[in-house]
Structure 1
Amino acid sequence: MSLADKVLAVNDDLPIRTDKPVHSGKVRSVYWLTEKDSRRLIEEKGYAVAPDAPLAVMVISDRISAFDCIWTGEGGMRGVPGKGAALNAISNHWFQLFKERGLADSHILDIPHPLVWIVQKARPVMIEAIARQYITGSMWRAYQKGERTFCGIEIPDGLQKDQKLPELLITPSTKGILKGIPGVPEADDVNITRTNIEENFAAFNFRSKSDIDLYEQLLKEGFDVISAELEKLDQIFVDTKFEFGYVTDAEGREKLIYMDEVGTPDSSRIWDGEQYRNGKVVEKSKEGFRQALLNHFPDPDILLNKDRMPERQALARDNELPAAMLMDVSATYVDIAEKITGKKLEISENPKAELIAILRDHYGLID
C-alpha cells in the first residue's frame, strides 16, 4: 500500500446519514446528525447531554494548510501521513487532563476512531483566544517595526526575538468576519482588545460580561496545564490558540466549554527545550513547515503578503512539494503526539474504509 493510500485527504464525502450540508473546514469536516440519530445515540451511549442536544460526527483529515492554502506533495500525496491521528490524539489527551483537573469540559462526547469525534453542537464564542509566553512570529515582526501595544496591552522596549515575555499575554483576534462592532474592522482574524470584547460582549456571543473573566481564566489555566506537562518532556509551550463555546448539559444548564482542538502542533508553537537553552529554536509544530515553505520558494513575499493572495493560491495549486517536506511534518507530528500521550500512535492503513465500518457497525450512522 502506498503512502498516498494512508492519507485521508478528502473527508467531506463519507456516506454518513445527515439532513444538512456537510461543513468542511481547512482540516475537519462536520456531519450534523439527524434529530432521530442524535436522540438515539444519546440514549444508547448514555452521553451526558440534554436528550434533544444536536450531535455531529467530526472527521479530521490529513490535509495540511499553511498561509491560508492547502498544500500537496509529489506522488499523489494529498496530505501528511499520521497528521490527523496525531492532532486528535493530542487534543484528546489535553481535553481529558482539563476535565480531570476540574477546568471545563470539551465538545467531545465519544471517540469511535482515531480520526473521528462525536461532538455536541456548541454555540461558538467568536474569538480566537490566543495566549503567548514568548515573543516570536507575527508579534515579533510587528515589534520590530516599532509596535509596542498589542491587543491593548503595552509591551516594554528592549525585548529580543524568541525571548520569554514578562507574563503570559492574552492577545485575542476575531473568529470570522464580525459586522457592526465599533472599532473592530470587518475582517477575519483581526486583533481586538479586552475593551472591545467588554463593550460588545453579546456580539462576540458571550452570554454575560462576567463570562469574559471565565474565558480568560480557562485560557490561562489550560495554557498552564499544557505548559507544565510539556516542561516535564523538556518542550516549551510558546503560544497557542484556544476556542470556546456554550453547550447545554443534561440538566439543561448552559456552560462554557473548550472546543475545536487544543495544544496541537497546528494551533500552537512548541520548541525543543534543550535546543532553546543552546540558543537555537527547533520547532515541534507547523511553524517548521511554514519556514520550510518560505525557504522552498524563491519569492517568500508571496506567502507573507496578503495582497498577493491570488499568486499564493496559484503557488499552492500548481506546485507539488517534495515528498520529503511532507514526511518531515509527519515525523514532527507523530513524534510530539507520542511524547505527549506516552503511547505509540496508531496510523490506519486505510482510514476511510476503517471509519466507515465503525460508524456503520457500532453507531448505525451509515445505511
Structure 2
Amino acid sequence: MNLANKVLAVNDDLPIRTDAPVHSGKVRSVYWLDAADSRRLIAQRGYPVAADAPLAIMVISDRISAFDCIWHGEGGMGGVPGKGAALNAISNHWFRLFREQGLADSHILEIPHPLVWIVQKARPVMIEAIARQYITGSMWRAYASGARDFCGIRLPDGLQRDQQLPQLLITPSTKGVLEGIPGVPAQDDVNITREDILANYSAFRFREVADVDRYETLFREGFELISRTLAGLDQIFVDTKFEFGYVTDRDGREQLIYMDEVGTPDSSRIWDGPAYREGRVVENSKEGFRQLLLSHVPDPDVLLNKDRMAERQALAAGDPLPASVLMAVSDTYLGMAEKITGERLRIADDPRTEIIDILGGEFGLIR
C-alpha cells in the first residue's frame, strides 16, 4: 500500500451532513450537525447532555504544521502516517483518566473511529495557557535576553537552559481578539496575568469569578496527573497547553470541562528521561520535527525570521520533505501513543473510506 494513501491530509470535504460551514483548523475539521441529527443521536446513543445540545463531528487529519506552515513529503505524502490516530489516542487516554480520577469531563461523547470524535459544543474560555515545568524554548530565549517577569510571575536569576523551574508556571494568553479589556491589547495570543483574568473574568468568558480558581485547579491537577504518569514511563513532561470551556449536562447544570486536545506531542514537550539524566535533550514531541526542519533546510533563518514568512511558505509548499523525515515523526508519535496507552495502534489503509462507511452506516450522517 502506498504510504500516501494511509495519510488523511484533507479532512474538510467529507460528505458529512451539515447545514453550517465546515470549520477547518491546522489539524482538525469540525462539522456542526443540524438540530434534527443532534437530537436523534442524543436520543439513540444516550449521550449525557441536554436534549437540544448542539453536536459536532470532529475529524483529525494527519497534516503536520511547524513554523506556521503546513509541510508535506515526497510521493504525495500530505502528512505523517498515523499522526492523527496517535494524537486522538493520547488525548482519549488522558481525558479518560481525568474523568475517572474526578477532575473534570471533556467535550467528547463518542469515538466512532480512531480519527473521529463526536463532541458536544462547548462555550470556550477565551484563554490559551501553557503550564511549564522546565525553562526551555521561547521562555529560555526571553530569560537569556534578560526577561524575568512572565505573565506577572517573577523568576530568579541564575537559571540554566532546560533546568527544572522552582515551581510549575502557568503562563496564560488571549485566545482570539478580545476588545475592551484594560491593559490588554485587542490581539490574539497576548500574554496576560492572573490579575488581568480576575479583574475581567466575564470578558474571558468565565461564568463567575470563582471559576478562575476552578480553572487553575483543573490546570494544575491535569498537568500533575500527566506528569506523574509519564514519569512512570521514564518520560519528562516539560510543558503543555490546556484549553477549557463550558457545557450543559442533561440536568441543565453548567460544567467547566477540558477541551481541544491534551498531553499530546503536538501540544506539549516531552523529553526522554534517560537521555536527560545524561545531559542530553531528546524530544519525543513535535519539537523534534522542528529541529529536523532546522537541520534540513539550507538557511534556518527562513524558519526563524518572521520577516521572511513569504519565503518560508514558498519553501513549505514547493519543496517536499524526504519520506524518511515524515516517517521519523511517525515513529515518534506512534511510539509515544503506544507507550502511553499500552496498546498498539492500527493505521487504516484508507482512512477516508473507513470514516464515510462508519458515519454513514451506524450513525446515518452521510448525505
Tell me which interval the TM-score lies in, with the shorter structure as reference length: over 0.9
| Structure 1 gap ranges (5+) | none
Shift of 1:174: 1.5
Superposed displacement of residue 307, structure 1 = 2.9
Q: Which sits farther off after the overlay, 109-118 or 307-316?
A: 307-316
Equivalence for 2:297: 297
Q: Deviations over 1:221-246 (max 9, x none)?
A: 00000000001100000000010000
User: Residue by residue, what CA displacement relative to the aligned partner does 1:243-298 show, whole Å, maximum 9, x if unpaired?
Assistant: 00000111011110000000000000000001000000000000000111112223
Correspondence 1:130 to 2:130: yes
1:178 aligns to what? 178
What is aligned with 1:307? Answer: 307
Normalised TM-score (structure 2): 0.99
Corresponding residue of 2:88: 88
Percent identity reads 75
TM score, norm. by length of structure 1? 0.99
Quote the residue 2:139 is aligned against.
139
Alignment of structure 1 residues 82-121 onto 2, 5 Å: 82-121=82-121
Q: Deviations over 1:188-214 (max 9, x none)?
A: 222111111112111111111111111
Question: Alpha-carbon deviation of 1:315?
Answer: 1.9
Give the drift of 1:5: 0.2
User: How many Å separate the matches in 2 of 1:192 and 1:185?
Assistant: 10
Tell me the equivalent position of 1:193: 193
Using the alignment, how far apart are the partners of 1:48 and 1:364 within structure 2?
A: 20
Q: Does 1:154 align with 2:186?
A: no
2:322 maps to which residue?
322
Separation of aligned partners in 1, 2:353 and 2:97: 31
Aligned to 2:286: 286
Query: Mind listing any 5+ residue stretches in structure 2 that lack a counterpart?
Result: none
Please give the secondary structure, in 2, of the residue aligned with 1:21: coil
Q: How many residues align?
A: 367
Q: How big is the shift at 1:177?
A: 2.2
Q: In 2, distance between residues paired with 1:210 and 1:305?
A: 41
Task: Tell me, in whole angstroms, the C-alpha distance in 2 between the residues paired with 1:105 and 1:171.
Answer: 23
Which residue identity is paired with 1:158?
G
Cα RMSD of the aligned pairs, angstroms, is: 0.9
Moved more, 71-80 or 186-195: 186-195
Q: Give the SS at the match of 1:320.
A: coil
**Equivalents in 2 of 1:208, 1:93: separation in Å?**
30
Query: Partners of 2:41 and 2:200 in 1: how far apart?
Result: 37
Query: What SS is found at the alignment partner of 1:88?
Result: helix
| 2:211 corresponding residue in structure 1 | 211
1:54 partner letter: P
Structure 2 counterpart of 1:24: 24
Match of 2:356 in 1: 356
Distance 1:335 1:244, change over 3 A: same
Aligned to 1:5: 5
Note closer, same or farther for the CA distance 1:306–1:202 as it changes in structure 2 (3 Å cut): farther
Distance (Å, rounded) in 2 between the aligned partners of 1:179 and 1:25: 23
The 1-side partners of 2:132 and 2:230 are apart by: 15
Task: Quote the offset at 1:50 in angstroms.
Answer: 0.2
Please tell me the residue identity of whatever aligns with 1:81.
P
Matched with 1:34 is 34
C-alpha separation between the residues in 1 aligned to 2:196 and 2:296?
A: 39
Q: Could you tell me how far 1:321 is from its partner in structure 2?
A: 1.0
Distance in 2 between residues matched to 1:305 and 1:148, nearest whole Å:
24
CA–CA distance in 1 between the matches of 2:194 and 2:63?
34
CA distance in 1, matches of 2:313, 2:195: 35
Q: 1:305 Cα deviation (Å)?
A: 2.5
In 2, the alpha carbon distance for the partners of 1:138 and 1:5 equals 36
Distance in 2 (CA, whole Å) between partners of 1:190 and 1:86 is 30
Q: CA separation in 1, counterparts of 2:190 and 2:303? A: 18
The residue type equivalent to 1:8 in the other structure is L
Match of 1:71 in 2: 71
Separation of aligned partners in 2, 1:7 and 1:310: 27
